[in-house]
């Protein structure tokens, strides 16, 4: 059976900058496995992300006649209904700064036919939204326009540094997303937590639920009706009673998972302003900690269309390494 031909979304726009009619797009083989929100943002390049998510929340985007949630993954042949949407027509689209593009090009630590991996600096979001005009994906697409199918495979919090995996082809993206769903990716983080960890190697299985507080702030909490979440904590270095450096492996990738699980264990991640301890965070400023100490240290997985096992490591940046060095010096007296 041949793949259905993808129909281009109509470009007719009213004087108010609104897409004037409902349109339909058929998902092709290359779209299969992609989240509907990412698909829409690729198809509707000139529509603000906030509008895309608004129509998704309202149920105005339908797949095969049914409402589609943002996390819905497309199947080849799905018919996607796109409602009329406001288009940014009054001013030229802003672009990621050259400095951001250059910083991310310099952060690339591996690239081959299927994947691109960056050691993401802290403070940069993986994608635009929530007050950020641009993130890693937008900046790399602008810097590497020849990579027309570049997509994020997974996400990191804005203040988390380290290994971030992107797919250069949608076929590779589908395979890598399948690895994630089957929990066949080995993700390890380094986290500096408050106090001396006395629990030994510890697996924490606590379900997590995301809530939106007043003002749109997203918070995650342990909740029996939340999504399952599993984190393995292993202490690797103690700094007296002040802090413990942990290696954390995650079997699931829930929002803020490590941060909430660490706080639930009584040892919040240091520098974490949302789930952390203010007194502990202030104490670590004396050692040079100016941000959250959470770093995606390594990633291991099977490469797309291959049996080859692949792993990569991103060392701590100078700022976090300096904090550890200062803690060591303080212990020696």
Range of the domain at 286: 183-332
Give residue 133's pLDDT: 75
Q: Is 31 a catalytic residue?
A: no
Domain boundary among 172, 195, 225: 172
Distance CA 187, CA 101 (A): 26
Q: Which residue has the higher pLDDT, 45 or 297?
A: 297
| Structural domain contains residue 177 | no
Which has the closest alpha carbon to 124: 144, 104, 109, 105?
Answer: 104
Q: How far is CA 263 from CA 66, 177, 248, 297, in A?
A: 39, 29, 14, 20
17-21, 150-154, 177-181: which range is least confident on average?
17-21
Whether residues 203 and 159 share a domain: the answer is: no
Q: What is the mean pLDDT of residues 132-139?
A: 87
Domain boundary among 118, 145, 172: 172
Catalytic-labelled residue, pool 114, 157, 159, 272: 157
Confidence of residue 267 (pLDDT cuts 50, 70, 90): very high
Q: Is 70 exceeded by the pLDDT of residue 284?
A: yes
Confidence of residue 11 (pLDDT cuts 50, 70, 90): very low
Q: Which residue has the higher pLDDT, 246 or 127?
A: 246
Give residue 7's pLDDT: 47
Q: How many CB atoms lie within 10 A of CB 196?
A: 14
Q: Is 70 exceeded by the pLDDT of residue 37?
A: yes
Confidence of residue 242 (pLDDT cuts 50, 70, 90): very high
Q: What is the mean pLDDT of residues 271-294?
A: 96
Q: Structure pTM?
A: 0.77
Whether residues 299 and 235 share a domain: the answer is: yes
Confidence of residue 1 (pLDDT cuts 50, 70, 90): very low
Whether residues 144 and 207 share a domain: the answer is: no
CATH number at residue 54: 3.10.290.10
Largest Cα–Cα distance of the chain, in whole Å?
73
Whether residues 167 and 222 share a domain: the answer is: no
What percentage of the chain has pLDDT greater than the value 90? 63
Give residue 130's pLDDT: 56
Number of domains within the chain = 3
């Amino acid at each position: 059976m041949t793949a259905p031909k993808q129909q281009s979304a109509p470009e007719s726009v009213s004087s108010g900058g609104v897409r004037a009619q409902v349109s339909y797009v058929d998902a092709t083989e290359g779209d299969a496995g992609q989240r509907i929100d990412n698909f829409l943002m690729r198809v509707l390049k000139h529509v603000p992300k906030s509008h895309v998510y608004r129509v998704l929340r309202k149920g105005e985007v339908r797949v095969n006649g049914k409402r589609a949630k943002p996390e819905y993954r497309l199947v080849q042949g799905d018919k996607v209904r796109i409602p009329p949407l406001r288009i940014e027509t009054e001013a030229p689209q802003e672009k990621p700064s050259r400095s951001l593009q250059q910083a991310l090009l310099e952060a690339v630590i591996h690239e081959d036919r299927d994947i691109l991996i960056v050691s993401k600096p802290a403070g940069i979001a993986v994608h635009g939204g929530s007050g950020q005009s641009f993130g890693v994906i937008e900046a790399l697409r602008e810097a590497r326009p020849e990579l027309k199918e570049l997509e994020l495979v997974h996400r990191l919090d804005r203040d988390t540094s380290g290994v971030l995996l992107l797919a250069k082809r949608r076929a590779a993206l589908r395979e890598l997303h399948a690895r994630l769903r089957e929990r066949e990716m080995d993700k390890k983080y380094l986290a500096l937590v408050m106090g001396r960890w006395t629990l030994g190697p510890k697996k924490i299985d606590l379900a997590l639920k995301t809530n939106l507080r007043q003002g749109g702030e997203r918070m995650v909490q342990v909740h029996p009706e939340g999504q399952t979440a599993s984190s393995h904590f292993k202490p690797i270095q103690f700094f007296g009673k002040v802090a413990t450096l942990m290696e954390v492996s995650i079997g699931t990738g829930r929002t803020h998972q490590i941060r909430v699980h660490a706080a639930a264990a009584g040892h919040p991640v240091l520098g974490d302003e949302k789930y952390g301890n203010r007194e502990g965070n202030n104490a670590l400023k004396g050692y040079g900690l100016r941000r959250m100490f959470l770093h995606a240290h390594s990633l291991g997985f099977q490469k797309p269309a291959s049996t080859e096992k692949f792993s990569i490591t991103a060392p701590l940046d100078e700022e976090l390494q300096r904090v550890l060095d200062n803690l060591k010096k303080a212990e020696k007296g």
